[in-house]
Amino acid sequence: MTNSKIITATVWVGLISIFLFLVGLSSSHETVVNLDTFTMPSELVATNVTEEKNPEHLETSEATKGNTDEAIEVQEDLDTISSSTSIPPINKSVTETVTKIVEEISVPKPVTLMTTTEVNTLARNALVNILCTSKGGGLFAPASGSGIIIDPRGIILTNAHVAQYFLIRDYPAPNSITCTIRTGSPAVNTYKARLMYISQNWVNNNRTALTNTEQLVNGSDDFALLLITETTAPNSSLPESFNYIEPNIEPGLPTQNTPVLLAGYPAGFLSGISIQRDLYASTSVVNTRETISYDATGTIDLFALGGSIVAQQGSSGGGVIRFDDGKLQGIISLSTSGESTDDRNLLAISIDHIRRTLIAETFVDMVDILKPTSNLIGFANSFDEDIRETLTEIIVTELDR
């Protein structure tokens, strides 16, 4: 008999004892028993139950024999209760109560998933397009990416390879690059934002990303935070609260074959003018595929999503949303090449990876940043004062080569 079986036997001893005790009370006194305050009689509780060894080890020691004898004693206790107890007439209410207790212990509660319509609406309301353009044409073609609002105060989570344009806004001259936050479908100018944080590891390891997109190979540390500061419309104010999606910070997720909804602003088949005028949000339901860890710890850092309409340039920074609770599981970062979107494999970095990287680089947890009382302006100011200039210099040095 294994340890789990002995524990199970002990549980059933307790349940049978409760049942017989309650039935006895009901039959002799017609008393309704309050199970919330009921205490099992001590003489009916099985004691001295220890682990029994596997059959192949029964002859290895005297200790094993002792454990086996104790297990047999438990069985004898059960036999004694069954044979010596005279069962009185069964009270229906007591039987139903005990049956309900057993069902609550044995049957797991089903998980209710959100509907596609619910998750789709949630995703589209929190989705933004980030469009960066150069003054007078400039050195860069319009760059379009996606992002997800993750806090009611207007924090946007996106990719570092999208947000890096905020670092070089004054290259090669002041205000050369303008980045605008757009919403809706088609996307229209809605907000202005400032760079709140960008991964230092990512900038250090991808300093030539603006001139060599092939360098983006695995998505590691590819995240940034933006903070919405004002509207683009004159004489208008920011909303008291933004629609947002709460990040799921639970480690070890997602598992494979989990349904998720993807949301982004794919622009792979659009020209620069069309991106500015006719860019529409897209969503797609897919199942998660293989998961990837960047090191030997086994943490889930990157996960595959297969091909879909969202598997295009411009979807970077878009959201991967769970059907379990509508939380953000990750953000889209990479895509393999393919003639059609169905032939590609979209890849996303997990929220857990982002959280761990943020802690390692800043000693600040994402959970603390998202607390309602956190000082978002102070966090952004600290980034500007301590880090921004160094990261900008890294990129500009490569652009000047």
> pLDDT tens digits for 44-76?
333 333 333 333 333 333 333 444 444 334 344
For the CA atoms of 368, 369, 372, 373, what is the dihedral angle to 10 degrees?
80
Question: Highest mean pLDDT range out of 106-110, 209-213, 253-257?
Answer: 253-257
Tokens of 131: 């469009």
* Termini Cα distance of the chain: 74
Question: In whole angstroms, what is the distance from residue 256 CA to residue 207 CA?
Answer: 33
List Cα–Cα distances, 229 to 137, 195, 340, in angstroms: 26, 10, 38
Q: Could you tell me whether strands 319-322 and 259-264 are parallel, antiparallel, or unpaired per DSSP bridges?
A: antiparallel
Mean pLDDT of the chain: 80
Reported as a single tens digit per residue, the pLDDT across 287-301 is 999 999 999 888 999
| Domain 116-399 grouped into CATH 2.40.10.120 | yes
Task: Kindly report the pTM of this predicted structure.
Answer: 0.73
Name the segment(s) of the chain with CATH classification 2.40.10.120. 116-399
* Cβ atoms within 10 Å of 369's Cβ, excluding its own: 20
Question: In whole angstroms, what is the distance from residue 263 CA to residue 282 CA?
Answer: 6
Mean of pLDDT values over 302-321: 96
| 3-state SS track over 84-132 | HCCCCCCCHHHHHHHHHHHHHHHCCCCCCCCCHHHHHHHHHHHEEEEEE
Name residues whose C-beta falls within 8 Å of residue 88's C-beta, 6 or more positions apart in sequence.
23, 24, 27, 28
Q: Report whether pLDDT(227) > 60.
A: yes
Reported as a single tens digit per residue, the pLDDT across 335-390 is 998 889 999 999 999 999 999 999 999 999 999 999 999 999 999 999 999 999 99
Reported as a single tens digit per residue, the pLDDT across 132-181 is 999 876 678 889 999 999 999 999 999 999 999 999 999 999 999 999 99
Which pLDDT belongs to residue 103?
55
